[in-house]
Amino acid sequence: MLDPSKFVALVTGATAGMGEAIARRFVEAGGRVVATGRRADRLARLAGELGERLHPAELDVRDYAAAEALLASLPEPFRAINVVVANAGLALGLKPAHEADMEDWRRMIDTNVTGLVNTVRATLPGMVERGRGHVIAIGSIAGDYPYAGGNVYGGTKAFAKQFCLALRSDLVGTSVRVTNIEPGMTETEFSLVRFKGDEARAASVYEGAEVMSGADVAEMAFWCASLPEHVSVARLQATPTDQAFARPEMMRR
Ligand code: NDP
Ligand code: 8X3
């Protein structure tokens, strides 16, 4: 297993849910983390709690120039990033395609597809140059298994999966690993965002079901990153034990 104190991880979407849990997992294991997201207050709170091995940095993943500027401005102990967790993402709405809001579709594509590509393109050259690195994308089982209303969201996660597989082809011989983690239902702020602040509707998604937590997914990301450097997990798909493939309709309650 790799020495966790040598990890310098950049995590997108570290202000909530899985991203926050992943940042926490790497710092608590002794690594350094550049924790990013749009909500600066939450990043500051996390930095206050986790201490100097966490560097908070505001970043909207849709802005490629901002990602490059951030990398150029990192303090020395955080410059040699060797794990990139491209986690920032969202689903908006659950309407059938013929009724869906075009603006929701655009935002999902801008965040989950363009944001992922921006994060990877900005961080890859440094990792290739240093001969060490690991891209961990947070995809979803929705990238494999369709469900009603998952239209564009599932499409963006299918993109993440295929993009990661393609990256692996490009990166053979560079020592940079690529992993697409594909979780099933995980209780985070995901449904609150999907249903635009409707707390009752968001809570009903998880009611009576034993779903995964951000910490469960963080453990998967940490395990993939900790494996010896000659081992590269391509895809890691995991669901709650009571979920088969897709959303609640496939779940025992
Ligand atoms: P949360 O809503 O709890 O967290 C999402 C994170 O993404 C937040 O930190 C948010 O930060 C960040 N984010 C959203 N838009 C942007 C943006 N434009 N720029 C930067 N950061 C952004 O949801 P999850 O933790 O569940 O989601 C994390 C990932 O996991 C997503 O990619 C999601 O698709 C995926 N996923 C979720 C599953 C689930 O059941 N929860 C299952 C499978 C995959 P901020 O708003 O501060 O910018
Ligand atoms: C999020 C999981 O099943 O709600 O990727 O789409 S699901």
Query: Would you say the CB of residue 45 lies under 6 angstroms from ligand 1?
Result: no
Print the SS3 string covering 132-171. CEEEEEECCHHHCCCCCCCHHHHHHHHHHHHHHHHHHHHH
Structure tokens at 233: 């997990």
Q: How far apart are CA 37 and CA 30, in angstroms?
A: 22
- Nearest ligand, CA 90: 1
Using most ligand atoms within 8 A of CB, pick from 141, 144, 237 the residue to mutate for ligand 2: 141
Structural domain count of the chain? 1
Q: What is the mean pLDDT of residues 153-169?
A: 98
Percentage, residues of the chain above pLDDT 90: 94
Q: What is the mean pLDDT of residues 230-237?
A: 98
Using most ligand atoms within 8 A of CB, pick from 190, 193, 217, 250 the residue to mutate for ligand 2: 190
Q: What is the mean pLDDT of the chain?
A: 96
Of the pLDDT bands very low, low, confident and very high (cuts 50, 70, 90), residue 251 is low
Residue of the nearest CA to atom 9 in ligand 1?
A: 13
Percentage, residues of the chain above pLDDT 70: 97
Residue 244 sits in which domain range? 4-250
Question: Is 147 a catalytic site residue?
Answer: no
Atom number in ligand 1 closest to CA 20: 9
Using most ligand atoms within 8 A of CB, pick from 11, 15, 157, 242 the residue to mutate for ligand 1: 15
Q: What is the CATH number of the domain that holds 170?
A: 3.40.50.720
pLDDT value of position 208: 87
Print the SS3 string covering 25-86. HHHHCCCEEEEEECCHHHHHHHHHHHCCCEEEEECCCCCHHHHHHHHHCCCHHHCCCCEEEE
pLDDT in tens, 85-111: 999 999 999 999 999 999 999 999 999
Q: Tell me, what amino acid is at 55?
A: H
Of the pLDDT bands very low, low, confident and very high (cuts 50, 70, 90), residue 253 is low
Q: Which of 145, 147, 153, 206 is catalytic?
A: 153
Q: Residue 147: how many CB atoms within 10 A of its CB?
A: 17
Structure tokens at 171: 């990166």
pLDDT value of position 209: 86
Query: Would you say the CB of residue 160 lies under 6 angstroms from ligand 2?
Result: no
Query: Would you say the CB of residue 190 lies under 6 angstroms from ligand 1?
Result: yes
> What totals of helices (H) and strands (E) does the chain contain, helices first?
9, 9
Q: What is the mean pLDDT of residues 64-74?
A: 98
pLDDT in tens, 180-201: 999 999 999 999 999 999 999 9
Ligand 1 mean position to 219 CA, how many Å?
17
